[in-house]
Structure 1
């Protein structure tokens, strides 16, 4: 079967270099190759998120494990956190707090919208917290939070600022040192474009000191103090890491740095604008409010008369995979990822497939018009 172009909100398409690294023979988890590449992945990750003095952690697991680890290592029982929720994954963070008997207040926006900095500022005047937690990009709603502005409000306060960067890190600016972020949690399979299987965290010195001040936490594998010696010296052993996935992630971090961070972030923005210009030309609108649109994915409302399952099946048959809606948006939207190492050629292929799918379903489109709208952005003819 011919390979499909995977444009769901993660995993994202995997670059051939990363596939090649993943396919290398498995080596000893404490041998010289693994020591070099895990150490390299840790150092590269810290460069990508601007964290000179903190510590990075790369362990077997998914983004949800990273969420759990971020919470359990920074918020103790008896303390209270503020969760800024923009949708599905903010709600998941609330569930994690409830599961472990931790206390949190929730500052939530309607799905498809976001919390403005002024709303957070007002909340912070009313109370103080052990931590403030925000999803950067919610993959269900497409909302991209103004993280830099949130961080500015917290810079002179005691709260730790924890950012869920699963659908942002490596594709959108996240500067820990210069902005004042204390924890970034993320995963390998979205903006990094590596295969899934890794829970990834970066902690500021202040966040790590908070963990050290906590006598114990309700976790064993998820206790960062057990992983810290391994991240500092990968020749040591705590639990067997997923060797091949880490080697692949190391290659992914090299690709990010070789492209250059500013160039990569700008490419994500221009790609998003290109795709949205084309989709608007086809008549689509977006679920997410304009001022919260994310550079990494789009949540697209269906045209009247366009059936979710039929549209996605025909598109799949034409070589492109997009995702349906989550929760209350199921059947009402499709979600299209445009992150990681996606090329302009892949973007054009996907848009041509969407256009031809609509034409096959008798929607009155001018062939080629949508793709031409996208090319103007991809070729730099319009400001991004």
Structure 2
């Protein structure tokens, strides 16, 4: 049996989605694909609470979505402020610098997040045409206080990009109400679709900014090249990722059918339950409590537990978790609990983790950990 993916993406893919992926490949200009694409785009807009946003699905990863967001709203003389909560915020800055944009980074310590007052001070210090924020950093498990950032950014005039790769579809992001100009994500995270689609949603203001730019250093990811084809999928610009779009359409449909408030609450409840079980196993989270994301946990190893050995044993037992990135490598593991992960899957994962730790000489009680997690699910 294949291991259950508890890495921070791809997340587990449910049979309804794999069934959609396995449907016959049709023409990228067919009525069948047009129906699936329009359904995906309509439901995607619902998940980020926008009436007038323009979604685009590119064949690619979350990094491509980051690049597309920046390139479509940043002029060559604009200055970008990247609000970084860790590894992937720093990547956004590297993308900006790679294209020659003037870029400053406002960074929180790893495991923490930039506080709203710090953002306000940075914006008071100079003018930024573009502000890019990582909602949840997959490397550190830190979630930015996005609603508070919205108040700080209100009436500033900056184009606001939100990297929702590990958040969109699992945590509330109200594009219209909060004044977000671009939300970007990837299919394989909170939506629980297979990897392969980079997802960007552009507000009317962001689209107007793109139209105001004489040119951008992109062709495939240029919003202007995709607008007609996203409104009428029979209009050709580039071949759509047919099967991935059909799977994504089903995944986003599942999210909307669940009910978005219920889906967000389920992510929060699952996170509490997983962390309750981890605590009984003697495992501490790396991230500050104030900024814990409901979509993943970054977990410190206790003394004497080797990273590679633990993850190999856990994989042999049927569960995949990811190692730490950069400065946290070897010190933590990263455990995703996003998308369509069920209560029973989470409880089984905690129990099996306890058995693995016990086999490595840790004095733990797996049954007690499962009981703590189960109790937290009822809160």
Query: Match of 1:83, SS?
Result: strand
Partner of 1:339: 338
Structure 1 residues 367 and 9, CA gap change in structure 2 (3 angstroms): closer
| Structure 1 residues without counterparts, runs of 5 or longer | none
Matched residue SS, 1:285: coil
TM-score, normalization: structure 2?
Answer: 0.99
Cα deviation for residue 142 of structure 1 reads: 0.6
Q: CA contact under 8 A between 1:325 and 1:333: conserved in structure 2?
A: yes
CA drift at 1:366: 2.4
Residue equivalent to 1:285 = 284
Question: Tell me, what secondary structure is at the counterpart of 1:73?
Answer: helix
Q: Please report the RMSD computed on the Cα atoms of aligned residues, expressed in angstroms.
A: 0.7
Matches within 5 A, 1:60-75: 60-75=59-74
Contact residue 62 and residue 196 of structure 1 kept, 8 A: yes
Q: Write the distance in 2 (CA, Å) between the matches of 1:69 and 1:192.
A: 20
Aligned-residue offset at 1:98:
1.2
1:52 aligned partner = 51
Aligned to 2:261: 262
Pairwise CA distance, 1:110: 1.4
Distance 1:8 1:304 in 2: 22
- Which residue of 1 is the match for residue 118 of structure 2? 119
CA distance in 2, matches of 1:104, 1:322: 34
- Paired residues, what number? 379
Mapping of residues 187-226 of structure 1, within 5 Å: 187-226=186-225
With the length of structure 1 as denominator, give the TM-score of the two structures. Answer: 0.98
What SS does structure 1 have at the residue aligned with 2:194?
A: coil
Decide whether the 8 Å contact of 1:151 with 1:161 is kept in 2: no
Which aligned pairs between 1:1-384 and structure 2 lie closer than 5 A?
Answer: 2-378=1-377, 380=378, 382=379
SS for the counterpart of 1:263 is helix
Contact kept? 1:97, 1:103, Cα under 8 Å = yes
- Tell me how far apart the structure 2 counterparts of residues 17 and 173 of structure 1 sit (CA, whole Å): 24
Q: Which runs of 5+ in 2 are unaligned?
A: none
Distance 2:344 2:365 in 1: 21
Q: Deviations over 1:3-44 (max 9, x none)?
A: 211000000000100000000000010101101110111111
Give the distance between the partners of 1:21 and 1:63, measured in 2 at CA.
22
Question: Is 2:350–2:366's contact at 8 Å kept on the other side of the alignment?
Answer: no
In structure 2, distance between residues paired with 1:216 and 1:293: 40
- Quick one: distance in 2 between partners of 1:363 and 1:48? 42
Residues 52, 203 of structure 2: 8 Å contact kept: yes
> 2:73 aligns to what SS in structure 1?
coil
Contact 1:73 1:217 in 2 (8 A): yes
> For the Cα contact (< 8 Å) 1:152–1:180, is it kept in 2?
no
Question: Following TM superposition, by how much is the alpha carbon of 1:128 offset from its aligned partner in structure 2, in angstroms?
Answer: 1.6
